[in-house]
Amino acid sequence: MTKEFAIEIKDLRKSFDGGKEFVLNGINLSIPRGSLTVIIGYSGTGKSVLLKHMLGLLKPTYGHVCVLGKDLVSLQESDLVKLRCSFGVLFQNAALFDDLTVLENVAFPIHEHRRYLPAAEIVKIAEKKLHMSGMDTKHFNKLPGELSGGMRKRAGLARALALDPDILLYDEPTTGLDPILTEMVDNLILETHQKQRGSTSIVVSHDLMAAFRIGENVVMLDKGKVLLQGTPSDFLSSDLELVRKFVDKGLKKR
């Protein structure tokens, strides 16, 4: 396994019921360091299950998942916990702590994992990450419940960035948002990727046009396998029937 790839997956299979049905059925996937990859596919094709394997939250039934050159299968739980600090994750609902302010939410992981830092330094880092996510200072002391949907996303992103992750994971960051907010979040992902030099971004999305707009590397999953990996133009010129259907449907939506 090389270090040229942020993530390397070899023949990953996963069944939840002791072997009969495979949700992931032989995934081979290499995600280059520094790339922005979008994973697309119909609902239930295993996208979230795949992300959970990258984080080591699920164990493969067969196969290997390597993150930053380390094979997760051979890691102890304590090393897995350390490796998870290399990830920043933004879930669909931003998953903020409701009873902590925006600033406290972002400071939380820094406090947890960098205990040696003085409190004032932690606040400074949290403020920097919030500014980087486009959050205005006037919102720093608000509770998540007092924020608009877009602001909550920015706060969630700032928290995902808190520990300077090598890899940023976004699971359906725009599902359920209106078109204007969707575009804002897409741009935020792109800008963040460009600002975080050398970091790798992986976005799971239903939105094909966004995938084409932000992704250099697009991966389509189907029935637990990689159907096609390539550039947006590889997708547009593909003869595969399922890819064509997905592309036609995606193009019609806009």
Ligand X SMILES: Nc1ncnc2c1ncn2[C@@H]1O[C@H](COP(=O)(O)OP(=O)(O)OP(=O)(O)O)[C@@H](O)[C@H]1O
Q: Is 238 in the site for Mg ion (CB under 5 A)?
A: no
In this complex, which beta carbon is closest to ligand X, that of residue 44 or of residue 176? 44
Stretch that binds Mg ion, among 41-49, 63-71, 90-98, 141-149 (CB under 5 A): 41-49
Shortest approach of Mg ion to residue 87 CB, angstroms? 17
Shortest approach of ligand X to residue 205 CB, angstroms? 9
What whole-number distance in Å separates Cα of residue 186 and Cα of residue 213? Answer: 9
> CB-based contacts of 36: which residues, under 8 Å, 6+ apart?
189, 190, 193, 200, 201, 203, 214, 215, 216, 217
Q: In the complex, which residue's CB is closest to Mg ion?
A: 48
Shortest approach of ligand X to residue 193 CB, angstroms? 22
Q: Is 48 in the site for Mg ion (CB under 5 A)?
A: yes
From ligand X, Mg ion, none, interface partner of 97 (C-beta below 5 to 8 A by class): none
What whole-number distance in Å separates Cα of residue 204 and Cα of residue 218? Answer: 10
From ligand X, Mg ion, none, interface partner of 16 (C-beta below 5 to 8 A by class): ligand X
In this complex, which beta carbon is closest to ligand X, that of residue 47 or of residue 129? 47
Shortest approach of ligand X to residue 25 CB, angstroms? 11
Q: What is the dihedral of CA 193, 133, 119, 100, to 10 degrees?
A: -120
In this complex, which beta carbon is closest to ligand X, that of residue 23 or of residue 158? 23
Shortest approach of ligand X to residue 102 CB, angstroms? 27
Stretch that binds Mg ion, among 4-12, 47-55, 154-162, 214-222 (CB under 5 A): 47-55
The answer to whether 6 and 31 are in contact (CB under 8 A) is yes
What whole-number distance in Å separates Cα of residue 235 and Cα of residue 254? Answer: 17
In this complex, which beta carbon is closest to ligand X, that of residue 23 or of residue 162? 23
**Integer CA distances (angstroms), 6 to 31, 169, 204, 242, in order:** 6, 12, 16, 28
Q: What does the binding site for ligand X look like in residue numbers (CB under 6 A)?
A: 16, 23, 41, 43-49
Grouping H, G, I as helix, E, B as strand and the rest as coil, residue 129 is helix
Stretch that binds Mg ion, among 8-16, 40-48, 191-199, 228-236 (CB under 5 A): 40-48
From Mg ion, ligand X, none, interface partner of 46 (C-beta below 5 to 8 A by class): ligand X
Eight-class DSSP state of 5: E
The answer to whether 169 and 51 are in contact (CB under 8 A) is yes
In this complex, which beta carbon is closest to ligand X, that of residue 44 or of residue 69? 44
Shortest approach of ligand X to residue 129 CB, angstroms? 27
Assign 3-class secondary structure to 132-157: HCCCCHHHCCCCHHHCCHHHHHHHHH
The answer to whether 5 and 32 are in contact (CB under 8 A) is yes
Interface residues with Mg ion (CB under 5 A) are 47-48
